[in-house]
Structures are given as C-alpha cells and as structure tokens.
Amino acid sequence: MAQLRISEAAELLGVSSDTVRRWVESGKVKGAGSGPLGVDARDLARFAADQAHTPDPGRTGQASARNRMKGIVTRVTSDQVMSQVEIQAGPYRIVSLLSTEAVREMKLEVGSVAIANVKATNVALELPDGKRA
C-alpha cells in the first residue's frame, strides 16, 4: 500500500496537517502505517477527486475547457505584435502569450480580473526530488 506522510498529504491538497489528521480520525481518509503518521495514497487520491470542484469562473457562457482559473493580472509585457500576461490564480502563476491587439481589445492591465482557460494536448509530469515511480 502506497502511503504519504500527513505533511505531504496536506501540502498536496493545500490544507493544514491538522485538517488531514481530522480527516483520518473521522474516517474520511484511511490512515496508513502504525498510528496516525500517514495516509493511504490511493484513498487520499479518491478523497481529493471526490472533493474537487471547478471554481465558478464568473459569467462566461458555455465552454468546453475544464481547467478554468479566475485570477488577477499581475504583469503585462508587450511589444508591437505579442504580449505576455501573467495571472495569479490562487497559488498558481499562469503565463499566457497572446497578441498585443487582443490585450488592448480586452483592456488587460495589472489589476484586471481574468479567467485562464488551460487546454493542452501535452502535459509533462515529473516526480518530486527523491521519489520513484
């Protein structure tokens, strides 16, 4: 059985270690090992998927993108043709490259609220230091 330390589980889900301990104590997540030192990694994945929800990105109509993150524009760098727009969406920094014409039409500037729609056909994954698949 794959297991994670309580602190690792907390970091992955963006909650405190105390929250993870309460989940284990209440039976929401299976503990692993002897005592409350870890959690069952597969059960944590199930729990995370059950708890996941797509935050309301605001009124945008219908869209097929599932990875939509509402954030605030923190930087805009433009030349005559292309612009780089950085958005902070919760703990995530998202960088988008788009035409300077689009940036002007959308009136994107530092402090603007924007929704990043992430659609990718290729997602690269890596393991944290010291971990093996």
Q: Is residue 106 part of a domain?
A: yes
Q: Is residue 109 part of a domain?
A: yes
Q: Are residues 45 and 73 in the same domain?
A: no
User: Based on the domain organization, do 74 and 47 belong to the same domain?
Assistant: no
Same domain (yes/no): 46, 72: no
Long-range Cβ contact pairs of 26-34 (< 8 A, separation 24 or more): 32/1, 32/3, 32/4, 33/3
User: Do both 46 and 71 map to the same domain?
Assistant: no
Furthest C-alpha separation in the chain: 62
Residues near 88 by Cβ (< 8 Å), separated by ≥ 6? 71, 72, 74, 94
Place of tokens 């729990």: 47
Query: Are residues 86 and 61 in contact, defined by beta-carbon separation less than 8 angstroms?
Result: no
pTM more than 0.75: no
Q: Do the domain assignments include residue 113?
A: yes
Among 96, 44, 102, smallest CA distance to 68 is for: 96
Q: What's the structural domain count of the chain? A: 2
Residue 108 lies inside a defined structural domain of this protein: yes
Residue 11 lies in a domain: yes
Question: Residue 10 is part of which domain span?
Answer: 3-51
* 72 and 39 assigned to the same domain: no
> Based on the domain organization, do 12 and 39 belong to the same domain?
yes
User: What CATH number is attached to the domain comprising 105?
Assistant: 2.40.50.100
pLDDT in tens, the chain (133 residues): 678 889 888 888 888 899 999 999 999 988 887 555 788 888 888 888 777 665 555 555 555 556 778 888 889 999 999 999 988 877 778 899 999 999 999 999 888 888 888 877 776 777 777 665 5
